[in-house]
Structure 1
């Protein structure tokens, strides 16, 4: 009996020690310029892609950029940490990327928001943390598109808290497309976020799949239990069905292109109506003829982001 109690005690201690490691950085590699980034991620890009990436990286050498590996559950997950070069205490923003697998990766040339844009936000005076999500970018595990990979975002909070230049009481969140879904699922589980900005957020997967039936095969590959009960799985990932469960003290900025072919503008309009109904504070900005990435409006988008986060985090 005594031996059994000792084993149980050691098991509890092991669990506690492991849980405390969530968010702990395993590896941190400084990336000083665009060339080092390409070498770090070990990708082969076409010349056109490299040229495109370079045009989006003019702020890259103005801030400190680190490729990181950190613990999330029992997995080593990949991500990035960006911070101003000037010493001091800064508010922080967690960025939730869009897409799945390598499509929409933070280093993908077609990502709506990539490391170049995040460097611009960091240069404004923010520490930025962003996950590639488990199973992506060389990380362990398999992403679940709104399943246990939400822990990969939540575990960025203690990671940021451990950084000496972060004022963790001023923590925001920014997401694009799938990153909108990720953000909504995250704020159901934490009260640490003070303000949110979202571009073309994924808010109704049950309707999205009707417009893009190829997603059915894609999601069936990596969403747990998807083929068992598709309707339930998609509703759990669709904020439009549970807006009433969102906190009512987090201001939300919605940025939406009116010519979005990936996620219909109606989705965001419907979401804004639910926000009004349930007294969720928000501001919706629509961009005429704007695409899903709002590429043609990046200057306007960043001006709005700066105003929003400066107001609520600084």
Structure 2
């Protein structure tokens, strides 16, 4: 009888553990030879990246919702710092694809020795719920922190965050609610939703569709989502690298400069790089901004004594 009780207790414990797990599905990404050949014309390093990094689709739990995302893990044995990547756009526009996840600098970054995890945000790519453009969907980012703890090769004592455009906005908001991020990089990040709509009136429809409580440009929910208004709440424990181009019409440079000025006032640790003629994607300066990003994370996340060297592995 004692054996039966013990067995039941073990099963209950295992059941409880399974219910608290964040990552509930992890499926390897496989690209066809034709796709790889095609991508190799754009990014010659693709074959080397694919030989040193494993890429996955994931489904994870956030506030009880099944949310879709991506994961990249170096193949070589060892433990690696984790980086949470925050995508731009909204809904299906700007969502992560297999190709963009591998090529948007994330493959390069992971091949340098980082575990990278990313969210599509709730309601997108077949996930449950509906995103709120900086509302409850910020939890989808924060819940990637315990999700990383379930990746055997991830060192959760060293986590960085990388966001682009709307993902930059999400990064700033996440940093108002956690001090666990050791370093962050923001590219062409939205900092002021009020100013954004002044320069891009088309965002009125986006706000109406996605932001609960939004009525017009004077709605307080816009300032609640704007880093320039909540800068004092951002963790001082997180140094931030800000990347911006002077020719960016999607996120005009003036609103980013407002946050730079604010960060200087409140003594937030940061570095700002302004690229002359750089567009929203900074495609003209890709090699430099990617190296700056790698250097930033290496400086704050890399343990040079114990970190495996991936440069001598793979094709």
Same structural fold, with TM-score higher than 0.5 when normalized by the shorter chain: yes
Report if the CA contact (8 A) 1:206-1:234 is conserved: yes
Q: Deviations over 1:69-125 (max 9, x none)?
A: 01111211000010111010100100001110111111188xxx6432211110010
Quick one: distance in 1 between partners of 2:136 and 2:239? Answer: 26
1:273-313 CA-to-partner distances (Å, cap 9, x unmatched) read: 10010000110011110000001111111110111000000
CA separation in 1, counterparts of 2:216 and 2:159?
37
State the TM-score, normalizing by the size of structure 1. 0.84
What's the counterpart of residue 77 of structure 2? 87
Distance 1:127 1:36, change over 3 A: farther
Q: Where do 4+ consecutive residues of structure 1 move more than 2 Å?
A: 17-21, 32-38, 50-57, 59-62, 227-231
Task: Give the whole-Å Cα distance in 2 for the aligned partners of 1:310 and 1:169.
Answer: 14
- Count of residues in correspondence between the two structures: 283
Gapped runs of 5+ residues in structure 2? Answer: 1-15, 303-315
2-side partners of 1:83 and 1:121: how far apart?
10
Change in Cα spacing, 1:241 to 1:106, as seen in structure 2 (3 Å) is: same
CA contact (8 A) 1:33 1:60 kept: no
For residue 219 of structure 2, give the secondary structure of its aligned residue in structure 1: helix
Whether the 8 Å CA contact 1:19–1:73 is kept in 2: the answer is no
What is the aligned counterpart of 2:42 among 47, 55, 63?
A: 55
Q: Does 1:173 align with 2:161?
A: yes
Residue 101 of structure 1 is matched in structure 2 by 91
Instruction: Tell me, yes or no, if structure 1 residue 309 matches structure 2 residue 297.
Output: yes
Give the Cα separation in 1 of the matches to 2:35 and 2:125. Answer: 13
Deviations 1:198-222 (A, max 9, x none): 0011000100001111110122112
SS of the residue corresponding to residue 88 of structure 1 reads coil
Matching residue within 259, 263, 269 for 2:251: 263
Q: CA RMSD in A?
A: 2.4
Normalised by the length of structure 2, the TM-score is 0.84
Change (3 A) 1:53 1:133: farther
Unpaired stretches in structure 1, ≥5 consecutive residues: 1-16, 39-49
Query: What does residue range 1-314 of structure 1 map to in structure 2 within 5 Å?
Result: 21=20, 24-33=22-31, 55-56=42-43, 58=46, 59-107=49-97, 114-116=101-103, 117-227=105-215, 230-314=218-302
